[in-house]
Chains A and B, each alone.
Chain A
Amino acid sequence: MKKIAIAALLASVTLFGADHVIDQKGKTFIPHEITVKVGDTLTFVNSDPFAHNAYTDDEANEFDIGMQAPGTKKTVPVKAAGKFDVECAIHPNMLLEVTAN
């Protein structure tokens, strides 16, 4: 049973890509740089006591998760290869550098 579960998990990772958790804490993205694969996902978790946001204007990967309340998480797909910056629209000193292969 365990083997089946592990196999299913591996299959889902292979099929859907890995999920990378980005913590939003102390007005920083943790980590602040990450290397991922196309097909992976980024999950933003707001650990601060006030709202955050994450967006990129990168044409191929453009997203904007909108206003993200404390304690919530939002997931976005990595759609294309390349390097792009993710910023918080509220706190622009929060920067995440993403390298997608």
Chain B
Amino acid sequence: MIKKSLLATLVVSALFTGATANDDMKKWLRPTEVPQPTNNKLTPARIELGKLLYFDKRLSKNDTVSCATCHSPARGWTDEVPTSKAVGFEGRVGPRNSPVVLNSAYQRHQFWDGRAKSLEQQALGPIEADVEMNMPLKELVPKLQKIKGYKPLFDKAYPGEGINKETIAKAIASFERTVVSTESPFDKYAKGDKKAISKDAKEGFSLFKGKAHCVDCHDGFNFTDGSFQNIGLHDGNLTGKELGRYNVKKRAAWYGVFKTPTLRDVTKSYPYFHDGSVKTLKEATVICSHGGRFEHNVKNKSDVMVDRHLSEAEVDKIVEFMKSLTGPDLDIKVPTKFPQ
């Protein structure tokens, strides 16, 4: 029953019903399906197994940290702290703001620097990271194999494949593909309900697409085009993790760039930016619409990061619009019992 309702939730949450959108609004509507790789199509068994793994703290070295610790459904699928402070392994501090899991299924690249090209590839990274779950996969696999209750679940989800790093990753990725947007007031508006959002939010949407140029990066139904941008949060030479995607490969265009995040449910995913340095949507909007925190001496700053000369009232309207992108929480029941 639970399994059926999980799939039903996925399908229903992705479908749109009721009024029809005009052509101008179609690009903003949520898709009817979540992308799935051919070797890991969604099934109830895979989703349920992935959910257990996602919330199971035994996937960490000392049984204290799960995926949900830093990507919690109760905290907007992130953790409400700037850089995963005091929630990683033994309170260790991660270098970046915990990215939201919501709608990651629609992203071609995972992590702020895009170093993973699939959710399956991404899923194992935090498990092994010493500041997160600190669990070497060569130890995790036998650990899970010893938990008898997991074997039938893996057998059902991935018949004949066994418990290994690939099936662990595929199961977690399957669950993450169910973490998608619910219908927000904006979605109702996009479908034709003109009263679904306020006058200020409508004007904010116009500014968002027009004068403010937010859409240059926050484009499409997921309010990100998946682009990598240097938004000028730091000036001068960058070092370490601030180099962003440049750490993946020393490509000139990747110096100090980070992935454009979704704005879906953005009111739940504070603080903002890859370093979690901004607490409010208004402050984030001011920084982005004024050409970054630093106007000058930013190496490889994106050319869309220029001062758009917005008034405070205009910024407020854009914030009102972004608030309308938040829908009800997903109906996901957090497991309280795990396989033994």
Interface size class on chain A is 10 to 19
CB < 8 Å neighbour of B251 from A50, A70, A89: A89
Q: Taking A50-B303, A92-B109 as contacts, is the C-beta distance between A67 and B226 under 8 angstroms?
A: no
> What residues of chain B lie closer than 8 Å to A93, measured between beta carbons?
108, 225-227
Q: Which DSSP category, helix, strand, loop or mixed, fits chain A's interface?
A: loop
CB < 8 Å neighbour of A89 from B216, B226, B228, B304: B228
Q: Taking A27-B219, A50-B216, A69-B303 as contacts, is the C-beta distance between A91 and B227 under 8 angstroms?
A: yes
CA distance in complex: A69, B304 (Å): 11
Q: Which of B243-262 contact A (CB under 8 A)?
A: 251-254, 257
Q: Are A89 and B253 in contact (CB under 8 A)?
A: yes
Contact string against B for A residues 48-78, beta-carbon threshold 8 Å, 1 for contact and 0 otherwise: 0011010100000000101101100000000
Tell me the A residues contacting B by CB distance below 8 Å: 27, 50-51, 53, 55, 64, 66-67, 69-70, 89-93
Tally B residues with Cβ within 8 Å of A: 19
> What residues of chain A lie closer than 8 Å to B216, measured between beta carbons?
50
Chain B nearest CB, measured from A38 CB (Å): 25
> What residues of chain A lie closer than 8 Å to B219, measured between beta carbons?
27
Q: Taking A50-B216, A51-B302 as contacts, is the C-beta distance between A92 and B228 under 8 angstroms?
A: yes
Chain B nearest CB, measured from A26 CB (Å): 10
Q: Are B252 and A92 in contact (CB under 8 A)?
A: no
Chain A nearest CB, measured from B103 CB (Å): 14
Nearest chain B residue, comparing its CB with the CB of A65: B253
Chain A nearest CB, measured from B236 CB (Å): 19
Q: Are A91 and B225 in contact (CB under 8 A)?
A: yes
